[in-house]
Amino acid sequence: MAITVLIPTPLRSLTSEQDSVEATGATIGEIFEDLENKHPGIGERLCDESGEIRRFVNVYLNQEDIRFIDGKNTAVADGDEVSIVPAIAGG
Amino acid sequence: MSGKAKYFTALRGRESGREYPLDEVRYVCEFDFGPLEVKYDYDAIKAVLTRELIQSRPPNMWRYKELLPIEGPVTVGEQTGFTPLTKADRLAERLGVTGELWIKNDTVNYPTLSFKDRVVSVALTRSLEFGYDTVACASTGNLANSVAANAASVGLKCYVFIPQDLEPSKILGSQVFGAHVVPIDGPYDKVNRLSSEIADKYKWAFANVNLRPYYAEGSKTMGFEIAEQLGWRVPDNVVVPMAGGSLIGKIEKAFNEFKKLGLIDDRHTKIYGAQAEGCGPIVEAVKNGTDLIRPVETPNTIVKSLAIGNPADGYYAARGIQDSGGYAENPTDPETVAGIQMLAECEGVFAETAGGVTVAATKRLLESGKLDPAECTVLCITGNGLKTKECLEGQFTTHHAIAPSLKAFDVLYDEIHGTSQDKGKVGEPALT
């Protein structure tokens, strides 16, 4: 399944400066594993030593925060868009 | 541009400690996405910054300029800040405070009547140093107003992104300055996410996205002013409204920096936070004794300026409150409206909903014994009531129009007071 993943500026050094990449997998966790295989080093940026998504990393599936869905177990389907966004100040 | 900074030397990841040079625009640590903080040379600052020097400068936030991250002269918001700190004796009596109660009154901040003018003057001055011609922000209203006004003052192009359900005054209050106001169909957190993606693509200076490390430092000036205006001392308690949770940490940082520089002797302030019941993720964490923030998916409150379900600095805010021995409260919307009215009736200060929350939270904290009524407490009132006046609709009796005759007023007076016996004598105030 091909999923589009939007890559924020701080991670583009790992994706040859591409702002979006394709990945495959049935869940967000599998997508992250595939990203790590294709772009070594990106995995530790997204998840801490225990495998949890880092405190300041927000992940959205089709604009919905995956914290409100099923976290790393959130299911993804062909054509979905995943966006990785750093936390942002208030306003 | 780079290398001119005299008193700040780098950006530093708050979690990782990794340092980044100042000549590029960065806003999160590349390694862990944690926030970046400005690293200052406090020895160099201590060598020049004295109480006397500060007091010799004009009454605005730039009297503390060595502690603010700009390299050259101030180009935006030179007259912002140094708002009144007012002793609130009548409010103290109403709330049962026996010690000192003070209002830090940013409802009259310049130019757009909220504390956001502080952060924007730093962010936009810095954005000009970086050479941007377009500025932007994600906002719940006050930041948008301030970015729009300050951008207009120096001829910067401006885009502001807001949740579509904001108060009309806050929308108009950006449009009037010629800004492009883009309403987004969704709560603030979606505006935020989109703004981050736009910032990446369009290369604009987003005050609270890619300029966040500089922007956030402007909030410290509220704390500096409180300490100076109290006579170079800090209060025992400070009550601060929380949206993203940045201001509360910066007030704490301000007190810590003054202590480090020897400008105050003692730093013991307990930090208290206020959010609305309909969006209180930081308060909930404090009440549960944790620093894990559970985001609120759909905020539901009249306090729109604080309606941020996933507060970026919530983790630090919750920890700061708990480490200081403070606490947090999240009053209901009716309590917030009552708080606005209490502040207005007691002190003649008309605050927006975030101010009502702060007063209402203080009332709860006093009632529960979390806040000591015998101590010195400062309430941070961060925005003006004229921007959120919808929340007061139906609260007041409007007198019908009367003929321009004394007789007509006598009749109305009797209607108001229910008697014609007690009009007072000449020379004696009758209305109480």
Please give, one letter per residue, the 3-state secondary structure of chain A: CCEEEECCHHHHHHCCCCCEEEECCCEHHHHHHHHHHHCCCHHHHHECCCCCECCCEEEEECCEEHHHCCHHHCECCCCCEEEEEECCCCC
Amino acid in the structure at residue A66? I
What one-letter code names the amino acid at B359?
Answer: V
pLDDT score, position B420: 57
Cα–Cα distance for residue pair B301/B132, rounded to 1 Å: 36
- Chain B: give the shortest CA distance to residue A60, in Å: 9
Rounded CA-CA distance B256/B252 in Å is 6
Q: At B53, which helix (H) or strand (E)?
A: helix B51-55
Beta carbons of B219 and B358 less than 8 angstroms apart: no
Q: Do B295 and A67 touch (CB under 8 A)?
A: yes
Q: B185 to chain A nearest CA, in Å?
A: 12
Is residue B387 within 8 Å of residue B142, measured between CB atoms?
yes
Q: A55-69, B9-23, B112-126, B269-283: lowest mean pLDDT where? A: A55-69
How much of chain A, in percent, has pLDDT values that exceed 70?
Answer: 96
Mean pLDDT calculated for residue range B310-329 = 96
- Report CB contact under 8 Å: B197, A56: no
B421 pLDDT exceeds 90? no
Region B4-30 average pLDDT:
92
First CA to last CA distance, chain A? 38
What are the tens digits of pLDDT across the range B327-340?
A: 999 999 999 999 99
Which residue in chain A has the smallest CA separation from B296?
A68
DSSP code of A77? -
Proportion of chain B above pLDDT 70, given as a percent:
96
CA distance A14 to B181: 35
A15 domain residue, yes or no: yes
Q: Among B226-235, B389-398, B423-432, which range has the highest average pLDDT?
A: B226-235
Judged by a CB distance cut-off of 8 A, whether residue A41 touches chain B is no
- Whether residue A38 is contained in a domain is answered as yes
Q: In whole angstroms, what is the distance from residue B277 CA to residue B18 CA?
A: 37
Instruction: Supply the range of the domain harboring residue A16.
Output: 3-86
Q: How many CB atoms lie within 10 A of CB B154?
A: 14
CA B140 to chain centre: 12
Is the CATH code 3.90.79.10 the one for domain B85-112+217-392?
A: no
Q: Mean pLDDT over all residues of chain B?
A: 94
Cβ count within 10 A of residue B271: 23
Does B114 have pLDDT greater than 80? yes
pLDDT band of residue A1 (cuts 50, 70, 90) is low
Helix, strand, coil shares, percent, chain B, to 5? 40, 15, 45
Asked whether this complex has an ipTM greater than 0.90, the answer is no
C-alpha closest to that of B119 among B209, B234, B42, B33: B209
Pairing of strands A81-86, A64-65: unpaired
- pLDDT interval class at B432 (50, 70, 90): very low
Is pLDDT larger for residue B425 or for residue A44? A44
Q: What is the pLDDT of residues B46-105, one digit of tens each?
A: 999 999 999 999 999 999 999 999 999 999 999 999 999 999 999 999 999 999 999 999
Cα distance between residue B374 and residue B401, in whole Å: 46
In what helix (H) or strand (E) does residue B381 lie, and over which residues does it extend?
A: strand B377-381
Calculate mean pLDDT across residues B163-167: 94
What backbone torsions phi and psi does residue B69 show, to the nearest 5 degrees?
Answer: -90, 70
* 8 Å CB contact between B202 and B133: no
Q: Count CB-CB contacts under 10 A for residue B157.
A: 15
Say if B34 is an interface residue toward chain A (CB within 8 Å).
yes
What is the predicted pLDDT for the residue at B423?
A: 53
Dihedral angle over CA of A32, A34, A36, A42, nearest 10: -40
CATH number of the domain residue A74 falls in? 3.10.20.30
CA distances from A69 to A38, A66, A74, B219 (A): 26, 5, 6, 34
Asked if residue B111 has a cis previous peptide bond (ω within 30° of 0), the answer is yes
User: Residue B3 pLDDT > 70, yes or no?
Assistant: no
Q: In sequence order, which residues have a C-beta less than 8 Å from that of residue B323 and are 6 or more positions away?
A: none
Residue B197 has pLDDT above 90, yes or no: no
CA distance B138 to chain A (A): 6
In a domain, A53, yes or no: yes
Contact B200 A19 (CB under 8 A): yes
Distance CA B220, CA B123 (A): 13
pLDDT reading at B200 higher than 90: no
> Would you state the structure tokens that stand for residue B127, as one six-digit string?
């954005």
Strand B36-40 versus strand B8-13 pairing type: antiparallel
Domain ranges of chain B: 85-112+217-392, 397-432
Q: Rounded CA gap, A61 and A56, in Å?
A: 17
Which residues in chain A are contacts of B243 at CB distance < 8 A? 90-91
Tokens 């903080």 found at: B37
Burial-class residue B275 by CB neighbours within 10 Å (0-12, 13-18, 19+).
buried
Mean pLDDT of chain A: 91
A63 touches B at CB < 8 Å: yes
Distance CA B103, CA B241 (A): 13
Q: Report the domain count for chain A.
A: 1
Across the interface, do A91 and B315 touch by the CB < 8 Å criterion? no
> Is A91 part of a structural domain of the chain?
no
The stretch A36-55 carries a mean pLDDT of 93
With contacts defined as CB-CB under 8 Å, which chain A residues touch B35? Answer: 56, 87
H-only helix segments in B67-210: 89-95, 116-130, 142-154, 168-175, 188-202
Alpha-carbon Rg for chain A in angstroms: 12
Q: Are residues B291 and B317 in contact, defined by beta-carbon separation less than 8 angstroms? A: no
- Please give the backbone phi and psi of residue B101, each rounded to the nearest 5 degrees, phi first: -125, 130
Amino acid at B143: L
DSSP state letters, B244-301: SSHHHHHHHHHHHHHHHTTSSS---PEEEEE-BTTB-HHHHHHHTT-------SS--S
